[in-house]
Structure 1
Amino acid sequence: MKRLILTRHAKSSWDDPLMSDHDRPLNERGKAAAADLGQWLASRGYVPDEVLCSDAVRTRATFSGMAPALPGAPVLDLKPALYHAGPDVMLAVLRHATADTVMMIGHNPGIAEFAHRLVSKTPISPEFRKYPTGATLVVDFAARAWAEVGFGQGVTADFIVPREIAA
């Protein structure tokens, strides 16, 4: 079995209109949400061994905020191809993963479409369609290798958005 933890970056800052999109950091709400997500993942045993992450500042900061709560030391692999990637690119990157439990951190709109296309049945949550900042899907695949994984094969194990953690 393979497990994917698919996370959209936490809320980013728009304070500097001249800053490039790639360089935008998390805002205070995003930093808190990343920490909450890390604790939520750890409390449920959803701990990645490998993290495939867009190289944007806000995706790296999202992982940095989660990491203190995650047991062990997941291997962080920055993937420039994940910056604003579409579903086909995301799947191609995932198919080269090596660990059984992998986290992927990316951006909308691609990550929302990727999540929808991966699962055989979408979660009931109305937030799943929007895939807001910090949205995290845990999806399992009956596969021996990531190279075997395809669209429509995933079984949803869990789905959360940060505001539901604090509620």
Structure 2
Amino acid sequence: MKTLTLLRHAKSGWDDPVARDFDRALNARGKRGAAQIGQYLADHGLVYDYILASPAVRVTQTLDCLASNYTLAVSPEWERRIYLASAATLLELVAALPDSANNVLLVGHNPGLEDLVLMLVPVGADAQDAQPSLRDAVEIKFPTASLAELQVDCATWAEFPALPATLSRFVRPRDLDPSLGPDESD
């Protein structure tokens, strides 16, 4: 069994002008949202043996804020190709993950992350107790700082993209603290 958890970076600020989108930082709400997700990870005992992340500032800051309530078991591997990657590019990166890792956290950007969930998870492949459908919720919106956990019964990451995934978890910051969303720009 391989588990791939996708984390979208937390809410970034548009008020602070930067020369490049890559350098955009988190805003206060984003920092709170990432910390809430970190607390959720800690409370549920989720541990990752491999972390692959975009080196964009808003991703590095998301991981920093996450770590305020959660201990990362491993240091992230920074991968520039995740920055604004398509689902197809993300699939290539997933297929190349080391098979020694069973629980991977991939931290990046939309629309690639949302598209990846919808590509890998067939309609009706949610965890059995998911009501309403987690996949439907992702299809409506994969907000900033949201977490989606996909599981595939396979032995290697090369097999992962070819098999149907089960969406076993979809957590948004607003699920943990209603003051964290939504607004039109999420």
Normalization by structure 2: what TM-score?
0.83
Q: C-alpha distance in 1, partners of 2:72/2:26?
A: 24
Confirm or deny that 1:165 pairs with 2:173. no
Q: C-alpha distance in 2, partners of 1:119/1:60?
A: 27
Amino acid at match of 1:164: D
Deviation for aligned residue 1:72: 5.3
Deviation for aligned residue 1:127: 3.9
5+ long unaligned stretches in structure 1: none
1:166/1:32 CA distance change after superposition, 3 Å: same
Amino acid at match of 2:144: T
Q: C-alpha distance in 1, partners of 2:175/2:37?
A: 10
Q: Aligned to 1:116, what secondary structure does the other structure show?
A: helix
Q: Compare CA radii of gyration and give the structure with the larger one.
A: 2
Q: Aligned to 1:146, what secondary structure does the other structure show?
A: coil
- Aligned counterpart for 1:106 among listed residues 103, 108, 118: 108
Q: C-alpha distance in 2, partners of 1:40/1:151?
A: 30
Contact preservation (8 Å) 1:6, 1:138: yes
Deviation for aligned residue 1:19: 3.2
Q: How big is the alpha-carbon RMSD for the aligned residues of Structure 1 and Structure 2? A: 1.7
Contact preservation (8 Å) 1:121, 1:156: no
Moved over 4 A (4+): none
- For residues 121-164 of structure 1, the C-alpha deviation after alignment (integer angstroms, 9 at most, x for no partner) is 36524541211111210111101111111156111111111011
Q: Aligned to 2:67, what secondary structure does the other structure show?
A: helix
Q: C-alpha distance in 1, partners of 2:150/2:18?
A: 37
Q: C-alpha distance in 2, partners of 1:141/1:70?
A: 25
1:19/1:140 CA distance change after superposition, 3 Å: same
Amino acid at match of 1:156: L
Partner of 1:116: 118
Q: C-alpha distance in 2, partners of 1:73/1:18?
A: 32
Deviation for aligned residue 1:87: 0.6
Deviation for aligned residue 1:39: 1.1
5+ long unaligned stretches in structure 2: 127-132, 179-186
Partner of 2:50: 50
Deviation for aligned residue 1:18: 4.0
Q: Aligned to 1:153, what secondary structure does the other structure show?
A: coil
The correspondence of residues 63-74 of structure 1 with structure 2, limited to 5 A, is 63-71=63-71, 73-74=73-74
Moved more, 86-95 or 45-54: 45-54
- Aligned counterpart for 1:128 among listed residues 127, 138, 153: 138
Contact preservation (8 Å) 1:127, 1:161: no
- For residues 40-96 of structure 1, the C-alpha deviation after alignment (integer angstroms, 9 at most, x for no partner) is 122122221211101100011111111243345223001000000001110111122
Partner of 2:153: 142
The size of the alignment, in residue pairs, is: 167
